[in-house]
Amino acid sequence: MAEYGMGSKVSIEGDVFSFGILLLEIFTGKKPTDENLDGLSLHQLVKMALPTKVMEIVDQCLLIEGEEESSRSGSTVRIGNERVNECLISVFTIGLMCSEELPRERMKINDALNDLHKIKKMLLKYARNTNRA
């Protein structure tokens, strides 16, 4: 349920909800209004897919663009599928926790941002270590 679209007052919790849905949109390539969600909300679709079907719901363009970008720059960045899988699960989990239906159950935005920074650092560190090998 879209908070602001349903007449809810503007609030930090509403902004957190919107941030969570935005994360889910970016990483799935789907909109909450898409008709191909089989009658599910975007939140429900992602929740059902985690953790075993994460590669089925991730926007494949994100994975392909990463490969193309590294080949264009002349450097090969190889990040193991397991590591990518782990990071995607973490990002989707943050999106889910931010978009919980009840405002009091939502993740705090500072915690979400800290966790996203940790994921970024982990991927960059792993990519650097892999490229040295």
**Residues 58 and 66: beta-carbon distance below 8 Å:** no
Could you give the percent of the chain with pLDDT greater than 70? Answer: 78
Residue 88 to residue 92: CA distance in whole angstroms: 6
**Residues 103 and 63: beta-carbon distance below 8 Å:** no
**Residues 46 and 57: beta-carbon distance below 8 Å:** yes
Residue 72 to residue 49: CA distance in whole angstroms: 32
What is the per-residue pLDDT across 82-109, written as a single tens digit (0 to 9) for each? 888 999 999 999 999 999 999 999 999 9
- In the chain, count of helices (H) and strands (E)? 6, 0
Predicted confidence at residue 74, as pLDDT, reads 46
For the whole prediction, is pTM greater than 0.75? yes
Residue 3 to residue 19: CA distance in whole angstroms: 12
Look at residue 34 and tell me whether its pLDDT is greater than 50.
yes
Q: Domain 4-132 carries which CATH code?
A: 1.10.510.10
More confident residue, 110 or 67: 110
Predicted confidence at residue 7, as pLDDT, reads 58
